[in-house]
Structure 1
Amino acid sequence: MSETITANIPHQLGREEARRRIAGGMDGFADAIPGGAVTEKRWEDDTAFFTIEALGQRLACRLDVTEDAVIATFELPTLLAPFAGAIRRKLEQYGPKLLR
């Protein structure tokens, strides 16, 4: 069964600066999965949608940028669901570094 990971990444940058940093470092989110690569990305207002491909799987990812937080949502396919905890930890490590 698939699994959804959600992480709230607080920041003090304001919406525009957080959005700029996310845009410049979005590919780094793929490092949460060994061999992962961002293959598609697009913005709709202050929400980034992107796809990570890894291990023959596709993850639908979303980053909602607000004035004081980024809410990251990753939809894991069934094959990657057992690794949800490890992927969440990587996401929670990378996000704050990007927004420092």
Structure 2
Amino acid sequence: MPEPVVITIPHRLGKEEAIRRLKSGLASAHLPFVTIDREIWNGDLLEFSLTGMGHKASGSALVMNDSVRLELVLPWLLQRFAELALKGLASRTKLLLEKK
């Protein structure tokens, strides 16, 4: 099984506001060549699956008071794109968590 790629994104919103923004923003997230197929929230944990370049991947986002821990597991064929995929996902997440 492939190793997950993990990144932590700091924020200053508090857990509840971060969850609210992620819930409302993920549905409209537009990542190049990526489609979010499923998102399931269980408290402060989001589990999701996505399709990118014809391959399925899965991941999770654990929302904490001051950060979000993103974990992405890509199939073997996409492992070399893991860092790029996670950077794109992290970038979109950071936009959702910016103070407004």
Q: Tell me if both proteins adopt one fold, taking TM over 0.5 as the criterion.
A: yes
Q: Deviations over 1:11-63 (max 9, x none)?
A: 000000000011112242x61xx421111111111101111112221111100
TM-score by length of 2: 0.86
Contact 1:3/1:77, CA 8 A, preserved across alignment: no
Specify which of 59, 70, 83 is matched with residue 61 of structure 1: 59
Aligned to 2:88: 90
Q: Which runs of 5+ in 2 are unaligned?
A: none
Q: CA separation in 1, counterparts of 2:90 and 2:46? A: 17
How many Å apart are 1:98 and its aligned residue? 1.1
**Would the aligned equivalents of 2:10 and 2:66 in 1 still touch at CA under 8 Å?**
yes
Give the CA deviation at 1:89.
2.2
Structure with the bigger percentage of helix: 1
* Aligned-residue identity in percent: 31
Matched residue of 1:62: which SS? strand
